[in-house]
Structure 1
Amino acid sequence: MFASATAIAHHGEIIQGAFHDAADKLHRGLVTLPFTPKHTTAFARITDNGGDISVQPPSKTKALGAVRLLLKDRGYKGSGLRIDLRSNIPDGFGLGSSTADIIAGLSATARLLKFPLKKRDLFRLAVRAEKASDGTMFLKRPRMVCQREGEVLERFKNSLPPFSLISVNADPDNPVDTLKYPPARYSRDEIAEFDSLRDQLRAALDKRDLHLLGEISTRSAIINQRYLPQPHFDDILEIARKARAAGVQVAHSGRMIGIMLPPDAHYTDRCVRTIQSGLLALGLFPEFHRTPHPYEG
């Protein structure tokens, strides 16, 4: 007897910063960019090993910790469990590998044991297990989540507009250990700008305005460049601007940078070939993806 579940990666964030709530309290928050080309699949099964809970490969300790938290919360006293994880997400570059492992592992376990598990439950368990988590469990209609608190700051009414993405790892030899980097200490001016960008994001989603969305993600990337600098960032930004891309977005705690293009872009288009040539000239290896995130048409 077994159950399976799949969780997608993310390609960093549309925006990440510090934002005020309705009571004027400040929170660290972000809006995730889901990324469907990368994913983790988990297979959970009951074993006869005396109640032991294990995960394969054994290095996936955060997923194991999350499953143990779920079982403890639900008072599980049954047989042993084994969760096998299969993933094409590289670790340490801001693609959400550990979050995908956790979501897939929790979902497969809950399905196997017939535990009801809401998306908000998944988010809170993910934060408890890995200290900070993106919101990849919330698909179609994005949330602004407090990645270290396990709370949702805002539920947006509309989904992300469709767009294509040229993805590039800006520093493939230097993965980032998120928890070793202290959280950014934003200035008052930066926090004020983040609050403004949040209002603009709401408008961009309401209008399904890709160019405004690109401007917002670009500004967030520029602000956060001061705290976790991405190699080649200025060059990539200039390549995107010359090609009249909608904008750039980054993994604010990783190394991935995305150049946002219209949804009908094709890999043979001149602008796509120009961008890819510019990235190759920097010694980087781009990938082109059409509409790489789920959305409601």
Structure 2
Amino acid sequence: MSNLEVPSLKENIHIDQSKWLKEVRVFAPATVANMICGFDVLGFAVDAPGDEVFMRQVAEKGVRIKSIAGDDGRLPLDPDKNTVSACVKLLLADLGLTDAIGIEIELTKHMPIGSGLGSSSASTVAGLFAINALLGEPLSKDALMPYCVEGERLACGHGHADNVAPALMGGITLIRGYEPLDIIALPVPEDLVAGIVFPQVDVPTRDARQLIKEKVRLKDAVTQWGNIAGLIAGLFRADYELISRSMHDVLIEPTRAILIPEFYEMKRIALESNALSFGISGSGPSVVAICKGKEDAQLAVDRIQAHLAKHGIESFQYVSAVNTQGPKLLNKS
């Protein structure tokens, strides 16, 4: 598992089969990783879009994926290659339940793959939240988190938590470190709203990550540290002006913006529409206008979409407050 170790759980967790459910349906949300200035250490969840997992017990032992909808046939049905089923299998193995239960999974993608909105993390989180619910919730979210991170390693080759942490925990999260994994929940100012635009252009996560420089100037690093610290202080104080002047990325955005058509025009439009800040969601191509209030967020995304349409670029938009719940159980039996 990369450089992370999933703890053995079977000796520490009590499994009560009388609490097992027959089937569950779970929704897990999209996320905005990095929060503009916090590369690989900050992220927050939104209300929509997101992914759904329907999971049921079946007689035949093992884990299988029955169907995947909304992926245009791009995701594998092989349970060892799909992040949802692979992580469920890993968790069941650590619980000593590999030969004790049969699981069938239906995955519904309500969000685009390669959007920069944590598509793989939403699916993985939904799957792990679902199996935990099916087993009567023997594990805490903290115990599920390393398995979510492993899903990201399987999906993109890098076991980062800036998508899966907010998707699982909800709200705004800080990943302080990975050895050991240390995730901190941050305050969510009441009026903080994200206006997200997903342009229909292709920016693969692996390609976007390869563009990042391995070495940066100390001057730029100091600027970025100050911005991250200022943003966190602004969140604790619900100081929107401090949040605004702190959310600037001098390390990652200048490189990744090259891959996103009309990026700087979109940024100009967002800031002229009263956005507190504007930047790239995750590795892109989705962009996000962080605003105070839904009205400004809606104005920003409407104007950005109109601009993209003039240049022949189709796009989707989402406007959402920060989702403080994370995944939710839609039904069970």
TM-score (ref. length: structure 2):
0.73
User: Is residue 273 of structure 2 the alignment partner of residue 237 of structure 1?
Assistant: no
Which residues of structure 2 form unaligned runs of 5+?
1-21, 69-74, 154-159, 326-333
- Residue identity over aligned pairs, in percent, reads 19
Contact 2:25 2:53 (C-alpha < 8 Å) held by counterparts: yes
Contact 1:248 1:260 (C-alpha < 8 Å) held by counterparts: yes
Deviation for aligned residue 1:151: 1.8
2:115 corresponds to which of 93, 98, 119: 93
Aligned-residue CA RMSD (Å)? 2.9
1:283 corresponds to which of 305, 309, 312: 312
Deviation for aligned residue 1:43: 1.6
Inter-partner Cα distance in structure 2 for 1:91 and 1:11:
14
Q: What are the superposed Cα offsets for residues 42-84 of structure 1, whole Å, 9 maximum, x if unpaired? A: 12111122x2211232626011111111111111131321121
Contact 2:41 2:176 (C-alpha < 8 Å) held by counterparts: yes
Inter-partner Cα distance in structure 2 for 1:283 and 1:160:
36
2:256 maps to what in 1?
Answer: 228
User: Is residue 219 of structure 2 the alignment partner of residue 189 of structure 1?
Assistant: yes
Inter-partner Cα distance in structure 2 for 1:169 and 1:268:
14
Inter-partner Cα distance in structure 1 for 2:274 and 2:31:
24
Inter-partner Cα distance in structure 2 for 1:206 and 1:79:
45
2:238 maps to what in 1?
Answer: 208
2:53 maps to what in 1?
Answer: 42
Q: How does 1:1-297 map to 2 (within 5 A)?
A: 1-15=22-36, 17=38, 29-49=40-60, 51-55=61-65, 56-57=67-68, 59=76, 61-76=82-97, 77-131=99-153, 132-133=160-161, 134=163, 135=165, 136-140=167-171, 142-145=172-175, 151-152=181-182, 154-156=184-186, 158-170=187-199, 172-178=200-206, 181-182=209-210, 184-187=213-216, 188-217=218-247, 219-220=248-249, 222-229=250-257, 230-265=260-295, 274-285=303-314, 289-295=318-324
In the alignment of these two chains, the number of paired residues is 279
TM-score (ref. length: structure 1):
0.81
Deviation for aligned residue 1:256: 0.5
Deviation for aligned residue 1:107: 1.1
Does the C-alpha gap of structure 1 residues 71 and 163 become closer, same or farther in structure 2, counting only changes over 3 Å?
A: same
Does the C-alpha gap of structure 1 residues 174 and 146 become closer, same or farther in structure 2, counting only changes over 3 Å?
A: farther
Inter-partner Cα distance in structure 1 for 2:313 and 2:177:
30
Deviation for aligned residue 1:200: 0.5
Inter-partner Cα distance in structure 1 for 2:130 and 2:64:
14
